[in-house]
Copies of this chain bind each other. A is one copy, B any other.
């Protein structure tokens, strides 16, 4: 499932919905991304996430479909917020459930790595040095490229 929303989300309820009532799931891996109060040495007062409505949903659905094709997953979830967020607030949650933990770990990391380089979101940080658009991080490109170059680890 994918969701793009301004509002916060309830991690517990989301995880419960992912595995609730099912008995074929051995492991659930989740990643929750939060706004930090520091970036590159500058204090952040708040952050505004802009996105491209329409394309965002398409890209997230494509990323989710790719994960479902690569790993034997029982369920997947991507939630991404937009709008103004303060330090400590949740930005994004990705989670995967599988019979096997390696599949859950690999696919969860894949989701966030690809999302970081393929989903049309942009961060505007309000810092004590003024507002500025966050620059893309080459390490995110490397993290995403890992999933092109390497085959997923053997399914467990």
A-side interface residues toward B, CB under 8 Å?
A: 10-13, 15, 19, 21-38, 87-88, 99, 101-102, 104-105, 108-109, 112, 139, 143, 156
Contact sample, A vs B, 16 pairs, CB 8 Å cutoff: A11-B15, A12-B12, A12-B13, A12-B15, A23-B34, A23-B87, A25-B34, A27-B34, A28-B31, A29-B29, A30-B30, A30-B32, A31-B101, A31-B105, A105-B105, A139-B156
**What B residues does A88 contact at CB under 8 A?**
19, 21-23, 25
**What B residues does A108 contact at CB under 8 A?**
29, 105
Given A12-B12, A21-B88, A139-B156, answer yes or no on A101-B33 (Cβ-Cβ < 8 Å): yes
Given A29-B29, A31-B29, A156-B139, answer yes or no on A37-B15 (Cβ-Cβ < 8 Å): no
